[in-house]
Amino acid sequence: MINLDIDDRKQLITLLKDLPELATERSRLQMLELAGLKQLAPMIDLSGASFVAVSEIVRYLSQYGRLTYAHEALGLFLNTLKSFVGVQQQEFLDGLLTKYDMMTPIAALPNIGQWKGGETTADVLEKIFGENTLRPIAFLQRGLEVARSVAYIGVKSSYQRWSGTGFLVAKDLLLTNNHVLPSSDLLTNSIFRFNYEDDFQGQSQPSQEYHAKPSGLFHTNEELDYTLVELDGEPGQKWGWLPLLARNIKCRERINIIQHPAGRPKEISLQNNFVEYVGGNVVQYVTSTLNGSSGSPVLNDGWEVVALHHAGGNIPEPTTKKRYFRNEGILIERILADLPSEIREMVNLASK
C-alpha cells in the first residue's frame, strides 16, 4: 500500500489528468493493460472526466499494494506512463517511484522529442494483417532457449535508480545500451538478474543475480549506444549466450524482441513486427516495446541477433531524414566493426 502525501498526490493527478493517453475510458483501460494491470481494471471506475477517473485510478492502485515482491501496482502504472511524458515529468515520476519504493524506474531513452511523422498508429496497424504467421512448433522451443540469456539490469547511482535489459554474447560478456550503463562507475551498484519471469499462471520463477567482475572489461560507445560489460561467475555457463555475427536483414522481414518492458518480468514481442527501414547504423521496425526494453536483442525469425534495440518514437531515417512512428535498433554489424580488435576476437570466439 502506498500512502502518497497530499502534495505528491495533487501534483501526480495534475500531471496525469492532462495526458491524452488517459483522456477516454477506452484509453485508460488500454494503459492499464499496457502496464500489466489488466486483472485490476474491472475493479476501477474508469468513466467520467479525466480528473475524476485519474483520481480513482491513483486511489485504487495506491491502496491495492504490491502485485509482486518488487512491484507496487501504482509503480507499474507510473513506470509505463514514463514513455508518454516529457523529461521533467519523467523526473517527477522517477522521484515518486524511488521515494515510495514502488519499483526501480526504467532507464530514460535518448531524447527524441515528440512524433511529427507522416504515419499514424492506424497506418501501422494496417500493416500487420494478411501475412502468413504459420511456424513449426519448434519455433517456440528455440525462442525459450534464446530467452534464457536475456537479463534484467538494475542500476543505482548515488542519487537515482533505473532499469533496462541486456543479453549475454559470451559466457561472461553482456551487451546493453550506453544509456542503460553509460559508465563503469555504476557497476558497483548494478545487478544483472537472469530468469526474471513469470510462469503461465503468473507465478514468479526462481531468478539469479550476478554482478560485474571487479576490474573486468567495460567498453562503451555513446554514438552507437552500446555497452559491453564483463560479469563475474560466468553466467553463460548456466544461461547460455547469443552469437554476435553480421546478419542480413531486409525491409518487410519479421523480427522478435525479448525484453523487460517497463522493468517488468521478461516478455516477448513477436510475429506482427515488421522491418520498415535498414540504413546507416540502424534498422527500424514496427513492434511493441516500452522504456525498459532498451538493450534487448532484436532477433530474426531464425532467432539470430540482428540488432540491439535502443529507442522508439520520433525516429528519423538516416538517409532520407524523414520521420516515422517506429522503434529502432543498432545493427550488430556496426557494433562488431566498432569493437577494439581484442574484444572483437573474444566475441568472435564465443560465436563459433
Per-residue pLDDT reduced to its tens digit, 218-263? 999 999 999 999 999 999 999 999 999 999 999 989 899 999 988 8
**At 98, which amino acid appears?**
T
Same fold? 121-134+244-337, 150-242: yes
CA atoms within 13 A on the CB side of 94: 19
Burial 59-84 (b: 16+ CB within 10 A, else e): ebbbebebbbebbbbbbbbbbbbbbb
Q: Provide the 8-state DSSP code for 230.
A: E
* Joined grid coordinates for residue 258: 525479448
Per-residue pLDDT reduced to its tens digit, 80-128? 888 788 777 888 888 888 888 887 666 766 654 433 334 444 444 444 3
Q: What is the pTM of this model?
A: 0.72
- CA separation for the pair 137, 268 (Å, rounded): 16
Q: Percent of the chain having pLDDT more than 70?
A: 89
User: Cβ contacts of residue 6 below 8 Å, gap of 6+?
Assistant: none
For the domain covering 121-134+244-337, report its CATH number: 2.40.10.10
Domain coordinates in residue numbering, the chain: 6-99, 121-134+244-337, 150-242
3-class SS string, 233-286: CCCHHHHCCCCCCCCCCCCCCECEEEECHHHCCCEEECCCCEEEEEECCEEEEE
* Joined grid coordinates for residue 83: 514513455
User: Cβ contacts of residue 130 below 8 Å, gap of 6+?
Assistant: none
- CA separation for the pair 262, 322 (Å, rounded): 28
At 226, which helix (H) or strand (E)? strand 226-230
Burial 222-259 (b: 16+ CB within 10 A, else e): eebbbbbbbbeebbbeebbbbebeebebeeebbbbbbb
Residue with cell 530514460: 108
Tally of residues, the chain: 352
Q: 150-242 adopts what CATH topology?
A: Thrombin, subunit H (2.40.10)
What are the beta bridge partners of residue 329?
Answer: 283, 309
Per-residue pLDDT of the chain (352 residues; tens, 9 = 90+): 788 888 899 999 999 998 888 999 999 998 898 888 888 888 899 999 999 999 999 999 988 877 766 678 898 899 888 878 877 788 888 888 888 888 766 676 665 443 333 444 444 444 434 455 677 889 999 999 999 999 999 998 887 888 999 999 999 999 999 999 999 999 999 999 999 999 888 888 999 999 999 999 999 999 999 999 999 999 999 999 999 999 999 998 989 999 998 888 999 887 678 899 999 999 999 876 666 688 999 999 999 999 999 988 778 898 888 888 888 999 999 999 999 999 999 999 999 8
If one counts every other C-beta atom within 10 angstroms of the C-beta of residue 115, the result is 16
